[in-house]
Amino acid sequence: MTRVLVVDDQAMVREGFGALLAAQPGIEVVGQAADGEEAVAAAARLGPDVVLMDVRMPRLDGLAAARRILARDAGVRVLMLTTFDVDDYVYEALRAGASGFLLKDAPAEELVRAVHVVAGGEALLAPSVTRRLIAEFATRSVPARAVSRRVDVLTAREREVLVLVARGLSNTEIAGHLVLAEQTVKTHVGHILAKLDLRDRVQAVVLAYETGLVTAARTDP
């Protein structure tokens, strides 16, 4: 059973998401919070597996709340709810450890799937958010140096897979691109996360850009 904490400053939105998720098999809504301060306290008290977190809230925004929650318990998964006008938050929230983003106007089935995905240890980014994230990286200068030695621990194949993960491809798409079995790709991704001490695919994307392994102008291995 996946335990979910729903955080949003709008009561109708919060209660609507809570009712939707509570009706799903395998999901238990353990609580709700109306702002970041309440979210931090509720997460400590209730021990949710997933926190569904709005970005913009009074007293303490979702980004700051996510940082505090993850600092206390790295095992919690934070799924941020965003809209097209909060792009400035995406980069910092991913660096803070959020496991994904979902647009607030996404269909109900996407919300349910997103909770299951992040609860299972995967990461999730809405395609439009991924495009904006890459655009954000494109505006950040990477020092003119060789790719960070941090990725030297990876094999050539693992580096290829990491580049494709950073481009937003799924395991199925990577398998097709590299002519590999999907299970083999999944194994490579697992090795990448373990070797680089990363939480999930989102952190892998951030690292790939920050080290210079991938840039907006150069996305091939």
Report helix angle 171-178 to 182-195, nearest 10: 110
Among the listed residues 163, 172, 98, 157, the one whose alpha carbon sits nearest the alpha carbon of residue 129? 98
Q: Which has more confidence, 34 or 203?
A: 34
pLDDT in tens, 142-196: 554 445 678 889 999 999 999 998 887 878 889 999 999 999 999 999 999 999 9
Q: Is 2-136 in CATH node 3.40.50.2300?
A: yes
pLDDT score of 19 more than 70: yes
Domain boundaries, the chain: 2-136, 149-210
pLDDT score of 87 more than 70: no
pTM of the prediction? 0.72
Percentage helix, strand, coil, to 5, in the chain?
50, 15, 35
* 51 half-sphere exposure, CB direction, 13 A CA radius: 35
- Dist. CA 79–CA 18, nearest whole Å: 14
pLDDT score of 128 more than 60: no
pLDDT score of 141 more than 60: no
Q: Which has more confidence, 204 or 121?
A: 204
- 9-17: long-range contacts at Cβ-Cβ below 8 A with a sequence spacing of 24 or more? 9/34, 9/35, 9/54, 9/56, 9/57, 9/58, 10/54, 13/54, 13/104, 17/52, 17/111
Whether residue 44 contacts residue 75, with contact meaning beta carbons closer than 8 Å, is answered with no
Q: Which has more confidence, 134 or 82?
A: 82
pLDDT score at 3: 97
149-210: which CATH architecture? Orthogonal Bundle (1.10)
Average confidence score pLDDT of the chain: 83
